[in-house]
Amino acid sequence: APTPTLLGVGVIDDVRKAVSTDLKREDSILYLVGDTARELGGSQYYKMMGYIGNSVPRVDAAYGKRVMTGLSKAVGSGIVRSCHDVSEGGLAVALGEMAFAGALGMDIRLDMACAPSAQERLETFRTLFSESNTRFVIETADAERFEKAMRGLPIWRIGVVTGDKHFRIRDASGKLAVNTNIDRLRDAWKKPFGEI
């Protein structure tokens, strides 16, 4: 029988192979999957800054299918511990949600002009808050197998999971851009719900 598909993309046929968004283990390696572009038009960042912007995220269905198919295979092979989509709020929000959901910290470096792929250097705020489509943060214990599974697709090793509650992001030059703890991130994330 053919593998079940959702919109033409393979899906996991065994729910035991599914992964959640919360970080699982100290010393895991973190990757960003997918290209980040200068697409902040209509973003949460621009909304917060009082801007609108005209560079809204564009969808490339063929590219999206390739990325989703590769990522589905990696998840199905058991090498992905956790995975979070990068969407509303961009990379910064996805990383924060993974960290406080798993009660683990992370050290991130935004120097993505390194192997196995090259990414256009963007300003730190664009890298953190762009809402470009078809991007994911994944946690793995096996960098070699993950890179092999994703060969030919845009991926960048961006950091590691730490056993403490520190949440650090360094820009492309190594300068500390964010230095906080996951409890503060969680409290800030939950604050808008307090008025509901």
Residues 160-195 pLDDT 10s: 999 999 999 999 889 999 999 999 999 988 887 655
Position 2 scores a pLDDT of: 43
DSSP 8-state secondary structure symbol assigned to residue 80: E
Position 113 scores a pLDDT of: 54
With contact defined as beta carbons under 8 Å apart, do 112 and 155 qualify?
no
Position 118 scores a pLDDT of: 62
With contact defined as beta carbons under 8 Å apart, do 167 and 180 qualify?
yes
Torsions phi, psi of 182, nearest 5? -70, -25
Position 1 scores a pLDDT of: 43
Position 14 scores a pLDDT of: 72
The position carrying tokens 């997918």 is: 34
* Predicted structure pTM score: 0.87
Position 116 scores a pLDDT of: 55
Strand bridging mode 176-181 / 5-6: unpaired
Position 12 scores a pLDDT of: 56
Strand ranges, E, within the chain: 5-6, 9-10, 29-33, 80-85, 105-109, 136-140, 155-162, 166-170, 176-181
Question: In sequence order, what are the beta bridge partners of 138?
Answer: 31, 83
Position 10 scores a pLDDT of: 54
Position 46 scores a pLDDT of: 84
Identify which of 156, 153, 160 has the alpha carbon closest to the alpha carbon of residue 71: 153
> Helix count (H) and strand count (E) of the chain?
6, 9
How many whole angstroms from its chain centre is CA 79?
16
Q: For residue 31, what is the enclosing H or E element?
A: strand 29-33
Query: Within 13 Å and on the Cβ side, how many CA atoms surround 76?
Result: 14
Position 194 scores a pLDDT of: 59
Position 5 scores a pLDDT of: 45
Position 191 scores a pLDDT of: 82
| Positions in the chain short of pLDDT 50 | 1-8, 115, 196
